[in-house]
């Protein structure tokens, strides 16, 4: 009897140890970022930020006693590779959610995979079509291009500039932006007098700009991500183009200023508030989070945290918040994300619902201008 009792105690002890090990198993989060390739200016700060935030959460004890494990892959901005890696994250790595990808084209390619496998995706891309119409398992943290277009058009309306030329890149982000520019023009009394495109790998857009110079345009809106918009800014300066130049939020980082050099001066664009966090009103609900993020990133990487890294910060923190509410399975995390209200992130204040998986309003953007190689808010 004594021997059996000892066996029972040993078995019970082993069971407790096993249960504790299971309870302490990390929560795996997948991440797909374009760390290399043309979109690296997006993916690198996103990857850096996601790693920084996860490390800090774990150092503080994790979430409800469980560590987060970030499984990150570099897509190099390639949609086919993104699909393959998303499948790997789900099938092999057994993640409960995926952050990213960095670009609209990659995200649209990955959506069928996560919808089929029922894994929540929090995209870091801006295209409105990512969440419009709503997909059950897909959310996003980047501000919609529809909001960015409205911000520019509202300003042009106030300036009484209603004849506009648009020059958009022929990829997923550019196509989505072009759709929004054309769809919203009439609402703001805008007449698009020139509509042209350029390729993601084009290195000279002089021909398109010469055509625009011969139009009746009072302003030029360029929709794309680096390096194309910087090339256009330089080409416009070389041609002596006098039109006011507006860019999309796809270039809202210091990288654009570095690439465009002196040609960046005076360019305006809609951006998340993180670029001008230090001059925001103290009553702004985002200011505290924004300043903390900028300082944290600076301490880790010796450069300023930017608009794009903010997308990853929001994604990780949204998942953390969902887990804090008791969600651990993919389905529970999805359901909790959809209930998110008044989450003051880097990209804005998020309010998700079953009808809205983008979660942001137009107050997520400010219009900024480049002056003396820095950002100022356009009044």
Tell me what pLDDT residue 210 has. 97
What percent of the chain stands above pLDDT 90?
Answer: 87
Residue 233: φ, ψ to 5°: -60, -45
User: How sure is the predictor about 18, in pLDDT bands with cuts at 50, 70 and 90?
Assistant: very low
Q: How many CA atoms lie within 13 A of 283 on its CB side?
A: 0
Total tally of structural domains belonging to the chain: 2
Supply the DSSP string of 247-258, one letter for each residue: E-GGG-SHHHHH
Query: Which domain covers residue 228, as residue numbers?
Result: 146-278+365-377
Q: Is residue 14 part of a domain?
A: no
155 and 266 in a single domain? The answer is yes
Residue 257 lies in a domain: yes
Residues 227 and 373 in one domain: yes
Within-domain flag for 88: yes
Q: Are residues 152 and 204 located together in one domain of the fold? A: yes
Say yes or no: 105 and 195 in one domain.
Answer: no
| Same domain, yes or no: 351 and 307 | yes
Indicate whether 17 belongs to any domain. Answer: no
How far, rounded to the nearest angstrom, does the alpha carbon of residue 163 sit from its chain's CA centroid? 30
Alpha carbons 110 and 172: distance in angstroms, whole number: 13
Whether 23 shows a pLDDT value over 70: the answer reads no
Q: How far apart are CA 148 and CA 181, in angstroms?
A: 10
Q: Tokens 């082993």 identify what position?
A: 14
Same domain membership, residue 273 and residue 159: yes
Same domain? 174 vs 215: yes
Residue 175 has pLDDT above 50, yes or no: yes
Tokens 């509202």 found at: 154
Cα separations (Å) of 50 from 46, 68, 178, 238, 297?
6, 11, 30, 39, 11
Q: Taking the model in full, what pTM does it have? A: 0.87
Give the pLDDT band of residue 2 (cuts 50, 70, 90): low
Residues 309 and 352 occupy one common structural domain: yes
Query: Mean pLDDT over all residues of the chain?
Result: 93
pLDDT digits (tens, 9 = 90+) for 324-352: 999 999 999 999 999 999 999 999 999 99
Q: Are residues 110 and 61 in the same domain?
A: yes
Query: What is the pLDDT, as a whole number, of residue 7?
Result: 59
pLDDT at 24: 73
Residues 108 and 243 in one domain: no
Give residue-wise pLDDT tens across range 91-144.
Answer: 999 999 999 999 999 999 999 999 999 999 999 999 999 999 999 999 999 999
Average pLDDT over residues 231-237: 98
Sorting pLDDT into bands at 50, 70 and 90, what band is 22?
A: very low
For 30-61, the pLDDT digits (tens) are 999 999 998 999 999 999 999 999 999 999 99
Q: Is residue 15 part of a domain?
A: no
pLDDT higher than 90, residue 19: no
User: 């790595």: which residue's tokens?
Assistant: 93
DSSP character at residue 326: T
62 and 128 inside one domain: yes
5 pLDDT above the threshold of 60: no
Q: Find the mean pLDDT for residues 352-377.
A: 95
Over residues 153-161, the mean pLDDT reads 97
In-domain check, residue 16: no
DSSP state letters, 206-258: HHHHHHHHTS--SEEEEE--TTHHHHHHHHHHHHT--S-EEE-GGG-SHHHHH
| 305 confidence band (pLDDT: 50, 70, 90) | confident
13 occurs within a structural domain = no
Is there a single domain that holds both residue 102 and residue 125? yes
The answer to whether residue 197 sits within a structural domain is: yes
CATH of the domain at 173: 3.40.50.2300
């Amino acid at each position: 009897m004594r021997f059996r009792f000892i066996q029972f105690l040993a078995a019970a002890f082993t069971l407790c140890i096993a249960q504790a090990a299971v309870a302490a198993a990390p929560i795996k989060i997948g991440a797909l970022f374009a760390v290399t390739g043309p979109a690296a200016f997006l993916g690198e700060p996103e990857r850096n930020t996601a790693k920084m935030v996860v490390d800090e959460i774990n150092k503080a004890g994790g979430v409800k006693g469980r560590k987060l494990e970030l499984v990150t892959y570099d897509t190099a901005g390639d949609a086919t590779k993104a699909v393959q890696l998303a499948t790997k994250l789900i099938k092999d790595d057994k993640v409960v959610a995926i952050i990213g990808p960095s670009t609209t084209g990659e995200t649209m390619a990955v959506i069928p995979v996560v919808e089929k496998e029922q894994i929540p995706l929090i995209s870091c891309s801006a295209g409105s079509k990512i969440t419009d119409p709503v997909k059950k398992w897909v959310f996003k943290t980047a501000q919609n291009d529809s909001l960015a277009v409205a911000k520019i058009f509202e300003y042009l309306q106030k300036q009484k500039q209603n004849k506009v030329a648009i020059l958009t890149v022929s990829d997923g982000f550019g196509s989505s932006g072009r759709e929004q520019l054309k769809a919203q023009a009439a609402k703001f009394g805008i007449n698009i007098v020139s509509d042209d495109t350029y390729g993601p790998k084009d290195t000279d857009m002089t021909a398109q700009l010469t055509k625009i110079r011969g139009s009746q345009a009072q302003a030029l809106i360029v929709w794309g991500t680096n390096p194309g918009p910087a090339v256009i800014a330089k080409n416009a300066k070389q041609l002596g183009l006098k039109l006011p130049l507006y860019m999309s939020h796809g270039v809202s980082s210091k990288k654009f200023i570095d690439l465009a050099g002196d040609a960046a001066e005076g360019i305006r664009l809609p951006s998340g508030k993180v670029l001008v966090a230090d001059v925001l009103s103290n009553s702004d609900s985002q200011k505290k989070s924004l300043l903390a993020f900028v300082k944290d990133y600076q301490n880790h990487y010796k450069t300023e945290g930017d608009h794009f890294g903010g997308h990853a910060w929001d994604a990780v923190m949204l998942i953390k918040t969902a887990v804090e509410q008791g969600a651990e399975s993919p389905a529970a995390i999805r359901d909790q994300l959809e209930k998110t209200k008044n989450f003051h992130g880097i990209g804005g204040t998020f309010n998700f619902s079953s009808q809205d998986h983008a979660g942001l309003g137009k107050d997520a953007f400010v219009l900024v201008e480049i002056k003396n190689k820095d950002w100022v808010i356009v009044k």
